[in-house]
């Protein structure tokens, strides 16, 4: 593995003294500035560490996030902008609030612009007014879900966006979004570098599905399965309320099943968990429908949790339709399961009662819980520190339980998925009691 794989790009030497009253000495009971030399091991396992020493002399490591003693931007002359893109997710307003508070109170940045409706707000024909953000305007927004700036999907030209940044004299752009947003942020950064401009672009990974690669988790994920857990509890009550009652709960998870699996373990009343990573069949001796029949015969009820991207191979048409962000629009596996289960038991001449519940949009628009709220604050503050130091084209994220800076081009190379051979999935299987394989 290349030792410079995780090197963070900078706009130039940081020569200005930070206004933060921090320390550089141990033992004085003050938080110390972080240096670029402070690294976090990418893989803390002993085997990986030993292999790194053997192959390259230095195991792969990433930059620790935090305030630097020297900064690049003069705070009094700096203009920042914030944009939120993609689907809604708990915690977006928390991140906006903390970015504004950090820029204003830590560094004294005089102007912070809220960009309306995602990257569309930075297009050449933007019809929406910009928002001047300050502590008073964002003071209470963390109590509400959604985003005060609005959001959108869709690809605007990086050149048009950079034209807007230059026209508005923006020095740093904070982008809050998932895989497509981060790819857009990287394209903007490349265009900025091509033009030789001093504009920092920063990504704060937002994906409710927790599918951003390399980082431990993304904000909003914990709130998602926290909100989903009582829904599963109520679905279980519905299933038990009828003889041969079946409750199907469809949760978010386009390509990764982390929410469905986590919610199922948090509320261990789930009997079948279906995720995009798991290949399964409906028919046959070991297929899902036969297993469901055995479950009903033994317990007279069943709860099924399915991620939205699971079982796409079961649909007759394999044609792909994509949304404005380029993501595949999956067909409704929840409806398909309901129809196939109903048809199967009618053929078996067995009476069942099926309840189908899809709470996705309620979960997406929920406010962040306490844990996610703290996490959002920490991500935003470290993003501000990195930007002020002149770092660019990076995301701030949690890696091995430490906040770090990672190059955007590394985290967007692939989607994070459940490892079916890993302990997390094994724990989910133990919770549900379902077989390791279904057909």
pLDDT digits (tens, 9 = 90+) for 189-204: 999 999 999 999 999 9
Query: Per the annotation, does 114 bind a ligand?
Result: no
> Average pLDDT over the chain, rounded to whole?
94
Take residue 335 and report the two structure tokens written for it: 């409806």
Query: Per the annotation, does 87 bind a ligand?
Result: yes
pLDDT value, residue 312: 93
Identical fold, 9-218+366-411 and 221-364+420-432: yes
CA distance 319 to 310: 16
pLDDT band at 15 (very low <50, low <70, confident <90, very high): very high
* Segment (H or E) for 399: strand 394-399
Q: Identify the CA nearest to 123 among candidates 96, 83, 91.
A: 83
Query: Per the annotation, does 178 bind a ligand?
Result: yes
What does the pLDDT average to over 304-322? 83
Residue count of the chain, please give it.
439
Of all residues in the chain, the percent with pLDDT exceeding 90 is 88
Is pTM beyond 0.85? Reply is yes
Asked if residues 90 and 223 have their Cβ atoms less than 8 Å apart, the reply is yes
Query: Per the annotation, does 52 bind a ligand?
Result: no
The CATH number of 9-218+366-411 is: 3.40.50.450
Three-state SS sequence of 363-382: HHCCCCCHHHHHHHHHHHHH
From the list 74, 140, 163, 209, the catalytic residue is 209
Catalytic residue at 342?
A: no
Domain boundaries, the chain: 9-218+366-411, 221-364+420-432
pLDDT value, residue 1: 47
pLDDT band at 66 (very low <50, low <70, confident <90, very high): very high
Say which residues have a Cβ less than 8 Å from residue 173's Cβ, sequence separation at least 6: 80, 81, 82, 83, 165, 185, 188, 199, 200, 201, 202
For residue 225, CA distances in Å to 197, 249, 298, 306 come to 42, 12, 29, 13
Query: Per the annotation, does 207 bind a ligand?
Result: yes
pLDDT digits (tens, 9 = 90+) for 85-135: 999 999 999 999 999 999 999 999 999 999 999 999 999 989 899 999 999
Rounded to the nearest 10 degrees, how much is the dihedral formed by the CA atoms of 308, 314, 315, 319?
Answer: 80
DSSP character string of 127-191: -SPPEEE-HHHHTTGGGSSS-TT--------HHHHHHHHHHTT-SEEEEEESHHHHHHHHHHHHH
CA distance 351 to 354: 10
* Res. 44: pLDDT tops 90: no
Query: Per the annotation, does 209 bind a ligand?
Result: yes
The CATH number of 221-364+420-432 is: 3.40.50.460
What does the pLDDT average to over 284-300? 96
Bridge partners (DSSP) of residue 40 are: 62
pLDDT digits (tens, 9 = 90+) for 131-180: 999 999 999 999 999 999 999 987 789 999 999 999 999 999 999 999 99
Q: Which of 148-157, 162-171, 390-399, 427-436 has the lowest mean pLDDT?
A: 148-157
* Res. 258: pLDDT tops 60: yes
Query: Per the annotation, does 154 bind a ligand?
Result: yes
* Res. 321: pLDDT tops 70: no
CA distance 297 to 384: 58
CA distance 396 to 381: 10
Asked if residues 212 and 434 have their Cβ atoms less than 8 Å apart, the reply is no
pLDDT digits (tens, 9 = 90+) for 324-378: 555 566 789 999 999 999 999 999 999 999 999 999 999 999 999 999 999 999 9
* Token pair 């690294």: residue: 39
Question: Exposed (0-12), middle (13-18) or buried (19+): which is 82, by Cβ within 10 Å?
Answer: buried
Tally Cβ neighbours within 10 Å of residue 203.
30
Query: Per the annotation, does 36 bind a ligand?
Result: no
Take residue 135 and report the two structure tokens written for it: 């502590």
Tally Cβ neighbours within 10 Å of residue 351.
10
């Amino acid at each position: 593995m290349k030792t410079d794989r995780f090197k963070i790009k900078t706009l130039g030497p940081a020569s200005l003294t930070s206004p933060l009253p921090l320390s550089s000495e141990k033992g004085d009971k003050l938080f110390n500035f972080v240096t670029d030399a402070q690294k976090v091991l990418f893989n803390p396992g002993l085997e990986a560490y030993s292999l790194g020493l053997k192959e390259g002399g230095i195991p792969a490591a990433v930059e620790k996030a935090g305030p630097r003693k020297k900064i690049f931007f003069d705070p009094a002359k700096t203009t920042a902008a914030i944009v939120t893109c993609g689907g809604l997710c708990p915690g977006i307003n928390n991140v906006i609030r903390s970015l504004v508070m950090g820029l204003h109170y830590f560094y004294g940045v005089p102007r912070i612009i809220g960009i309306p409706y995602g990257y569309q707000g930075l297009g050449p024909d933007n019809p929406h007014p910009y928002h001047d953000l300050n502590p008073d305007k964002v003071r209470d927004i963390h109590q509400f879900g959604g985003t005060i700036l609005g959001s959108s999907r869709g690809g605007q030209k990086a050149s048009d966006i950079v034209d807007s940044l230059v026209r508005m004299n923006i020095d740093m752009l904070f982008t809050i979004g998932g895989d497509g947003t981060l790819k857009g942020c990287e394209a903007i950064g490349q265009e900025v570098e091509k033009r030789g401009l001093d504009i920092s672009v920063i990504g704060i990974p937002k994906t409710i599905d927790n599918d951003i690669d390399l980082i431990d988790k993304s904000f909003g994920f914990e709130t998602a399965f926290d909100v989903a857990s009582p829904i599963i509890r109520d679905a279980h009550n519905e299933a038990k309320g009828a003889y041969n009652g079946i409750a199907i709960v469809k949760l978010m998870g386009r390509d990764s099943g982390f929410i469905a699996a986590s919610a199922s373990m948090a509320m261990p009343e789930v009997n079948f968990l279906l995720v995009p990573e798991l290949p399964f069949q409906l028919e046959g001796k070991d297929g899902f429908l036969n297993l469901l029949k055995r479950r009903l015969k033994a317990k007279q009820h069943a709860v099924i949790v399915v991620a939205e991207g699971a079982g796409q191979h079961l649909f007759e048409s394999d044609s792909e339709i994509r949304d404005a962000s380029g993501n595949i629009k999956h067909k409704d596996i929840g409806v398909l399961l309901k129809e196939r289960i109903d048809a199967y038991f009618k053929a078996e001449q067995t009476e069942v009662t099926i309840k189908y519940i899809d709470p996705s949009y309620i979960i997406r628009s929920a406010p962040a819980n306490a844990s996610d709220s703290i996490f959002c604050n920490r991500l935003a503050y470290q993003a501000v520190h990195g930007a002020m130091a002149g770092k660019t084209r990076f995301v701030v994220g949690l890696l091995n339980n430490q906040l770090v800076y990672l190059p955007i081009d590394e985290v967007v190379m692939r989607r994070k998925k459940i490892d079916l051979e890993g302990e997390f999935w094994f724990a989910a299987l133990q919770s549900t009691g379902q077989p390791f394989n279904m057909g």
